Structure formats: structure tokens, C-alpha cells
Amino acid sequence: MTTQLVRRKHKSNQSDKLGQNPLLVASGSAVGLASIAVVRTSCGWVGLRGQQGVVTRTTMGQSSEADVRQALGTDGASSEPVAWLNEAADLLRRFLDGEAVDINRIPIDTDSGTPFQRKVRKAVRAIPPGETRTYGEIAKKVGSPGAARAVGRVMATNQVPLLVPCHRVVGSCGQLVGFSAPRGVVLKQHLLEIEQRAGGEPTGN
């Protein structure tokens, strides 16, 4: 049986807010070294891997801190705590606890990948919390109608779930599909429900 959610209409232009008010906290690690931040949330353990001021990988829904670190990989990572990354992890914790906070403040790598991949990630980041778009709608948004499967491949290789919110991208009939995090589409539905309950405009705090 396919799980479905009622799709909400677009109420605001989140794309206008992308890149505004980023977390500007000095890194405590040596230049060039990756760092990891781990936090326990209502959706399980969440982790972020960051380097040179941007988050490069996230994982969520893990059952333990050890699982987070294994998923993120600790090779080449500093053991030093990093202020900006810890603040980003706490912002995600608050988001998953149902606060209407703006996680688009968390800086990610926007330069990697092909032009198509970059456009898809930008379009997905612009989907307001609690709302959904189909793979086909995203394809049209980035000027490639008919490339729904290619959009799906970009989402399947998404290195920063939550920050590029692939849980807001659904199948052609609104069905929840293609979520590789632990608990799969059950977690995908839970994330959307958290966002819908929070409601309102995200705050900058």
C-alpha cells in the first residue's frame, strides 16, 4: 500500500531567503580538516560533517552516536569541537523538535556537481517546510521538463539530507518514495508532519 500525504499549496517564496543570515561562527579546527557534530533528536541521532565553513554531509535517523560517525566517516576528521558546526547541529535538533527555525541558514557546498545538479538542489532547498513537489515539478522548475528520473537520481545521491530537503520531493501522484535514510518513507512522512505542525514562517534564531 502506498503512503500518501495531502500536498499543501505554496504560500511563500522561500527562495528569496536562501543564503541570507548564514551561521557565521569561527571554526575551531585546523584549516582544511573536516569536523563532525552529533546530536540526539526526536528523529534519532543526527550528524553533520563539515569542512572549511560548509556542511558537506549529513545523516539522520541513526540509532546511536557510533552509527552516525560510521555513516559520516571519520577519516581525516578532527576531534576538535567546532563552534559553527555544533551550532548548526543544534539548529537541526530544534528544527526536528518542531521549532519553526530556518535551517537554510546552515551553509552547504553549492558549487559541486553539474549545473543540472546544482539547479535541482537549489530548487529543492526553495520548497517551503511541510510542502511537497513532485520530481516532475522540480524538473520543470529547473528548465528540464521530462527529466523527472534525473531529478530522482540527484536526490538519491544527496549528501546533505534535511539541508537539501529531499523528503519534500514526492512521486507523480504525491506518494512518498525514494528515501534512503533509516526507516525510509516512514521517516520521510514523519519529517513532513513535523514541519506541518510547526507551521508559520521560519525564524532566524
> Annotated catalytic residue: which of 166, 170, 192, 194?
166
The answer to whether 166 is a known catalytic residue is yes
Alpha carbons 98 and 179: distance in angstroms, whole number:
21
Q: Cβ of 44: how many Cβ atoms within 10 Å?
A: 19
Cell of 199: 507551521
Alpha carbons 59 and 29: distance in angstroms, whole number:
21
Alpha carbons 21 and 144: distance in angstroms, whole number:
30
Alpha carbons 89 and 109: distance in angstroms, whole number:
16
Alpha carbons 68 and 39: distance in angstroms, whole number:
9
Q: Cβ of 152: how many Cβ atoms within 10 Å?
A: 20
H helices, E strands: number in the chain: 6, 6
Known catalytic residues? 166
